[in-house]
Amino acid sequence: MNDENLSKKIKGYKLFAAFFNFRSRLPFKKKSVFFVMTHDGGPSGNCGTMLAAVEKSGYKTHVLKHEHTHFGKNIFGAFRFFVVKSFQMAGAHTIFLDNTFLPLGFCDVDKDVQVAMLWHGTGTIKRFGLDTTEGELRDLEAAADSKITHLFVASEYTKQIYKGCFGLPYEKIYVTGNPRCDELFAAAASGEDIRDKEKFTVLFATTFRETIPGEAPYYEIRTLLRKLNNKNRKIQVLLRLHPHVSHELKGRSEYFMYGNCTDVSSQENLISIMKKADVLVTDYSSICYDYAILNRPMLFYAPDLDYYREEERGFYEDYESFVPGPVFSRIDNLAEEILNLSSDTAKHDLSGQEAFMEKAFAFRDSNSTARIMEVLHL
């Protein structure tokens, strides 16, 4: 983000905060809960799962989604964001976040209001937050994150990492598990299996790049689809791109010239998509934490590993030894492994996933949402 764009955005943040601070002079409503769902607006995300639980308990809820923050010259959209949403947020007793909400840094939040960060992922491989940002943007993030009263994580391991990402003391970080994982743990415990028995389903889900060194994983999609286009094996690919990059492929039908690919980037229920997959192909995305719950094969495609490690965000651990599956740098080798798995998934060694699960999850049940509700007295 260049200085000019950031300066313009800061004016908007301050305007939102001005309306928030005006409304905050009045008492907040103890049965009102506000959700900032600007990263994952779907029902299966951390905030989406918590939203359903809070509404079931009888609370009045309001939601701010990504589309509410992009209104262009639409005066009604601007009024909804700056006035309506700021008033709703200022009137809430509890505010849930799935991302760092920068206007919050300028808001005067009442000392009795709970600001609960759920984040949009279950853990992390790549560095993020205050560990990566610099200058004025870092100051903005730090100011916004300082308003967080509760940060919920899935394990002590993640707690150690998130402390630096959000700049919070340990006493504000609670190991409860993540709401989005409840459905996956329930499915794993019950033996639920909604996979298509007539097909072998590959979920291709990658993260974004700040800069693109020549080629990124999604530029190799056509090559992968061509190599997997084997009618006898009936392989289908579900393509799930990060929101920051999915728009680059939107409408470009040449990427989907083979009938074995379905773009599911815009589908909201990611948990349902994961449950349909026989194997996950990812790179540096935290989706591997969620998918590990299902105890199914994971393949890691990292053609730009050295560049990402040295020039982009980098990692908290040694990538090759940390991820719970084999790492591939060439699309040919990745395709070959997928073809082998489609013939016999028993060939894939899942033994490394247990050590990963030990680090990732303090609880292996479907009660994370309930534990968070208990901590917040909701």
Distance CA 187, CA 361 (A): 16
147 & 264 share domain: no
335 & 290 share domain: yes
In a domain, 62, yes or no: yes
Q: What is the dihedral of CA 199, 204, 205, 207, to 10 degrees?
A: 180
In a domain, 165, yes or no: yes
> What is the reported pTM?
0.92
pLDDT confidence tier of residue 226, bands split at 50, 70 and 90: confident
371 & 355 share domain: no
Q: Is the pLDDT of residue 264 over 50?
A: yes
pLDDT confidence tier of residue 61, bands split at 50, 70 and 90: very high
In a domain, 246, yes or no: yes
Q: Is the pLDDT of residue 213 over 60?
A: no
Distance CA 90, CA 85 (A): 9
pLDDT confidence tier of residue 259, bands split at 50, 70 and 90: low
pLDDT confidence tier of residue 337, bands split at 50, 70 and 90: very high
Tell me the two tokens of residue 217: 């994983």
Helix axes 368-375, 46-56, angle to 10 degrees: 70
Residue 371: CA count within 13 A, CB half-sphere: 21
297 & 371 share domain: no
Residues 292 and 350: beta-carbon distance below 8 Å: no
Residues 6 or more apart whose CB falls under 8 angstroms from that of 348 comprise 279, 297, 341
In a domain, 301, yes or no: yes
pLDDT confidence tier of residue 345, bands split at 50, 70 and 90: low
342 & 371 share domain: no
125 & 251 share domain: no
Q: Which CATH number is 34's domain given?
A: 3.40.50.11820
223 & 78 share domain: no
In a domain, 185, yes or no: no
**Backbone angles phi and psi of 36, in degrees to 5:** -95, 105
204 & 256 share domain: yes
106 & 243 share domain: no
In a domain, 296, yes or no: yes
141 & 67 share domain: yes
pLDDT confidence tier of residue 348, bands split at 50, 70 and 90: confident
Distance CA 332, CA 339 (A): 11
228 & 140 share domain: no
| Most distant pair of Cα atoms in the chain: their distance | 67
Distance CA 378, CA 374 (A): 6
232 & 328 share domain: yes
What separation in angstroms does the CA of 133 have from each of 98, 270, 316, 348? 18, 28, 15, 38
Is the pLDDT higher at 3 or at 59?
Answer: 59
Q: How many domains does the chain have?
A: 2
In a domain, 186, yes or no: no
Residue 197: CA count within 13 A, CB half-sphere: 1
For 355, the domain range is: 192-360
Q: Which CATH number is 319's domain given?
A: 3.40.50.12580
pLDDT confidence tier of residue 305, bands split at 50, 70 and 90: very high
Is the pLDDT higher at 237 or at 2?
Answer: 237
When pLDDT is averaged across residues 352-368 and rounded to a whole number, the result is: 95
In a domain, 187, yes or no: no
